[in-house]
Chains A and B, each alone.
Chain A
Amino acid sequence: MPARDFESIYADYSRMVYWAAYGVLKNESDAMDVSQNVFLRVIKHQKKLEAMEDLQLKSWLYRVTVNLCLDGKRKHKREVLADELPETPISDMHALPEAAVLDAEARQTLYAAITALPDIYRETVMLHFFSELRYEEIAQLMGVSEGTVKSRMARAKERLFALLKGGEQHG
Chain B
Amino acid sequence: MADRFEELMKSIAEEADAKVEYAAMREAVLQKAAAARRRQVRFVRYGAMAATLVILAGVGTLFLKQKGGMNATARDAEQAAPQAMEYSFADSADGIAPAGDPEMPEAGNASVAVPEEAEEDAVTSGALPESAPVSESPEESDESFEATSGANGLLEAVPSATGTPDAEAIAFSPEELCALCLTARADGADGALASFEFLYAPVETAEGYRLVDIVADCSGVTYTYNRVAAEASDDAYALILPAVSLYGARAETDADGVYAPADALVSASAEGSLTWILGGGEVKLEPYAGCTLSEAELRALCPLRLMEIE
Contact = CB atoms under 8 A, between A and B. Distances in A.
Contact of B7 (A71, A98, A145, A160): A98
B217 to A, nearest CB: 11
Contact of A70 (B10, B226, B228, B231): B226
Contact of A111 (B14, B16, B22): B16
B264 interface: no
Contacts of A14: 22, 25-26
A86 to B, nearest CB: 12
B8 A77 contact: no
Interface in A32-53: 32, 35-36, 39-40, 43
A95 B212 contact: no
Interface string A134-155: 0000000011110110011000
Contacts of B256: 74
Given A66-B212, A143-B288, A40 B17 contact: no
B17 A98 contact: no
A145 B232 CA distance: 24
B213 A148 contact: no
A76 to B, nearest CB: 9
Interface in B16-44: 16-22, 25-26, 28-29, 32-33, 36
Contacts of A79: 232-233
A70 B224 contact: yes
Interface in B252-282: 256
B11 A98 contact: yes
Interface stretch (B86-94, B104-112, B185-193, B201-209): B201-209
- With a 10 A CB-CB cut-off, give which of B1, B17, B202 has the most chain A CB atoms: B17
Contact of B204 (A40, A74, A90, A145): A145
A53 to B, nearest CB: 14
Interface string B207-245: 000101101000000001010111111101010000000
Interface string A95-136: 110110110000100110010001110000100011010000
A125 B17 contact: no
B35 to A, nearest CB: 10
B25 A35 contact: yes
B231 A110 contact: no
Contact of A130 (B17, B212, B224, B228): B17
Contacts of B5: 157, 160-161, 164
A86 B173 CA distance: 40
Give the contact-size bracket for chain A: 35 or more
A40 B32 CA distance: 8
A40 B36 CA distance: 10
B195 to A, nearest CB: 15
Contacts of A142: 201
A50 to B, nearest CB: 16
B15 A95 contact: yes
Given A79-B233, A143-B210, A120 B25 contact: no
Contacts of B17: 15, 19, 130
A152 B215 CA distance: 29
B29 A130 contact: no
A99 B33 contact: no
B15 A73 contact: no
A125 B16 CA distance: 13
Contacts of A152: 206
B46 interface: no
A71 B104 CA distance: 67
Given A39-B29, A152-B206, A74 B12 contact: no
A111 B12 contact: yes
Contact of A63 (B1, B14, B212, B232): B212
A98 B5 CA distance: 9
B196 to A, nearest CB: 13
Contacts of B228: 120
